[in-house]
Amino acid sequence: MDIKLIKQVVDLMKRSDISEFEFEEDGFKLRLSSKGSDAPQYIQAAPVAQTAASLPAATPIAEPAAATPAIEEKGISVIKSPMVGTFYRAASPESPAFTDVGAKVGKDSVVCIIEAMKVMNEIQAEISGTITEVLVENGEAVEYGQPLFKVKTA
């Protein structure tokens, strides 16, 4: 697991109301939880192969509410977040939004910015079509793979 990614998540937790985070990759599991303090507390970081009995006692973490499954719509594609960060619809508060409902986008069209670790990352549509819905509010924290926009491609 990349230490840079862990630092990004910790920074995001400090700047938003995310209080818990769990990640599993290549046999490594990481759980973070902030308990009202400014810094997240590292609850558990252990190889997944260990048994529960061999792990140190960890504070139980409440399971997040089950996300409602996305209903697949014919001819509708979703632009998803390629990273964890803060979603912005425009380059600055005074600037117009990169895109809005009804706007046509191409594969190279910038649709938003995601700020991660003080770096502004322009996110491209990577599909062509018409924006039918903006799924995230400006300034909202987003997760990797979170749907951002619906695009009518047919």
- Residues spanned by the domain of 88: 76-152
Flag whether 60 is in a domain. Answer: no
Q: What percent of the chain has pLDDT over 70?
A: 69
Q: pLDDT tens-digit profile of 98-134?
A: 999 999 999 999 999 999 988 999 999 999 999 999 9
For the full predicted model, state whether its pTM sits above 0.85: no
Domain count for the chain, please give it: 2
In a shared domain, residues 39 and 96: no
Which pLDDT score, from 0 to 100, does residue 71 have? Answer: 52
Residue type, position 92, single letter: S
Flag whether 70 is in a domain. Answer: no
DSSP of 43-101, one letter per residue?
A: EEEEETTS-GGGSPP----PPPPPPPPPPP-TTEEEEE-SSSEEEESSSSTTSPPS--T
Rounded to the nearest integer, the mean pLDDT of the chain is 77
